[in-house]
Amino acid sequence: MRLELGRINITDIRFGEKTEIQQGVLVINDAELKVLLADDPNLVGVDLDLAKPGEDVRIIPVKDVIEPRCKVEGPGGVFPGFISKVETVGSGRTHVLSGMAVVTTGDIVGFQEGIIDMSGPGADYTPFSKTLNLVVSITPLEGLPQHKHEHAVRMVGLKAAAYLGSAAVDLTPDQVEIFELGNFAENAVQYPTLPKVAYLYMLQTQGLLHDTYVYGVDAKKILPSLISPTEVMDGAIVSGNCVSACDKNTTYHHQNNPVIRELLLQHGKELCFHGVVISNENVTLADKIRSSDYAAKLVKMIGAEGAIVSEEGFGNPDTDLIMNCQKLEEMGIKTVLITDEYAGRDGASQSLADATTLADAVISVGNANEVIELPACKKVIGNLKTAEIIAGGFSGALHADGSIKVEIQAITGSTNELGFSKLRGEGF
């Protein structure tokens, strides 16, 4: 499949009378967008705000982050299964509003949500302090069940991103990136001397607001599956989960998965990229055995000699990670794991909840239990009091002056297990 990503560089955002892009500046008709987003009987209201890099602004609690896009050529549309019909994406051309994002916040959905600081020490831990953000604050009906609340918030974010992305339909991109990958047989013949590498992409699917969607399907209901890397890059996977903010893969992370991007860039040079297997993370032992067996089988079937495995979340999913590693290694497939650590605030505790001696190539993206002091911000979008109940926060985390003391677990993307962050730990 061949995918062209036409990037329109957004240099500023502001509200105005017409939604359009003028020489890199995204102008947003906020009144029109609010009417579109508020069209949900489960919501009381929707408010819009802007947060730009360097501003003294804190966004809390963050539910999701989404990159605005529009489909220009080829089959399918943006966020298939939610905004567009369920057609296979991953080919043709998609225009991307680079440098900006939609951030959803409001009443807390689940306790494992996060913080984005646009300046100060916290800004160094999240990539979204560097994006121009349209922040959508969402107020649900009182007493709305959590799953309906999560669905409503998820749809608001996707609708906002699709609305903004449509402003780029007729524009000439500033850059066009082309990503293409043939089938397994073609790749093997074309690059017979290069190591054949697959990517096992673990998705958070434990339920209880720990969900990820593939073409609109709750991924905890699927068996591990093959998917084209360009499908992932074109929005086939959407976040619906409320896992700890530090290692949650937001929709933006899925759209811009750096593991997939780097494997495509190195294809035909350092390695032969054989494709992507998506796998779910399960709760019961039987489901863990089924999924890890099936995922390893698919990686072996496509002829991979090496595999990269990325986790999402921690604790219970550590067992899925280790099962995947052990079964791949026992099949003779050299395996590298990407994970973060929960090693205690002093870093002296066991990093993962499970282990195997076969996990001898592990990339750590940092210890989520490390504590940080976040000074008060002049402007808060959302509800500052949630600092005491989100994962990484605790009673007494919020101080009288508005400053916060939390684990970096509370910062959105701080230890992202795709490596989409600045932190690194010692390899182990």
List the domain range (segments joined by +) for residue 112.
2-410
Longest dimension (CA), the chain: 65
Q: Is residue 71 part of a domain?
A: yes
Q: Is residue 421 part of a domain?
A: no
Q: How confident is the model at residue 110 (pLDDT cuts 50, 70, 90)?
A: confident
Q: Which of 160, 162, 110 is nearest to 137 (CA)?
A: 160
- Give the SS3 label for residue 277: strand
What is the pLDDT of the chain when averaged over all its residues? 95
**Range of lowest pLDDT (23-27, 195-199, 241-245, 369-373):** 241-245
Q: Which of 280, 343, 276 is nearest to 317 (CA)?
A: 280
Please state the rounded mean pLDDT for residues 209-218: 95
Instruction: State both tokens at 316.
Output: 């219970």
CA distance 161 to 134: 9
pLDDT at 338 over 60: yes
- Give the SS3 label for residue 185: helix
pLDDT at 195 over 90: yes
Which of 70, 242, 325, 377 is labelled catalytic? 242
pLDDT at 97 over 70: yes
pLDDT at 70 over 60: yes
Q: Is residue 428 part of a domain?
A: no
Q: Is residue 363 part of a domain?
A: yes
Residue 254, phi then psi, degrees to nearest 5 = -65, -45
Residues 331, 357: contact at Cβ < 8 Å? Answer: no
HSE at residue 238, side-chain half, CA atoms within 13 A, is 28
Residues 307, 198: contact at Cβ < 8 Å? Answer: yes
Q: Which of 250, 238, 310, 303 is nearest to 281 (CA)?
A: 310
Please state the rounded mean pLDDT for residues 322-341: 97
How much is the pLDDT for 427? 47
pLDDT at 130 over 70: yes
Greater pLDDT, 241 or 198: 198
Residues 97, 26: contact at Cβ < 8 Å? Answer: yes
- The verdict on whether 242 is a catalytic residue reads yes
How much is the pLDDT for 428? 43
How much is the pLDDT for 108? 84
pLDDT, one tens digit per residue, over 28-62 is 999 999 999 999 999 999 999 999 999 999 999 99
Q: Can you point out the beta strands (E) in 141-243?
A: 175-180, 196-203, 212-214, 217-218, 225-227, 237-239
What are the residues facing 51 on neighbouring strands?
A: 133
Cis peptide before 61, with omega less than 30 degrees from 0? Answer: yes
How much is the pLDDT for 243? 83
Residues 229, 198: contact at Cβ < 8 Å? Answer: no
Q: Is residue 423 part of a domain?
A: no
Q: Is residue 417 part of a domain?
A: no
Q: Where are the alpha helices (DSSP H) in 30-140?
A: 30-37
- How many domains does the structure of the chain reveal? 1
Q: Which residues contact 56 (CB under 8 A, 6 or more apart)?
A: 118, 119, 120, 377, 378, 379
How much is the pLDDT for 142? 93
How much is the pLDDT for 424? 63
CA distance 154 to 159: 9
Q: Is residue 286 part of a domain?
A: yes
pLDDT, one tens digit per residue, over 373-413 is 999 999 999 999 999 999 999 999 999 999 999 999 999 99
Buried b (16+ CB within 10 A) or exposed e, 204-224: bbbeebbbbbbbeeebbebeb
pLDDT at 426 over 60: no
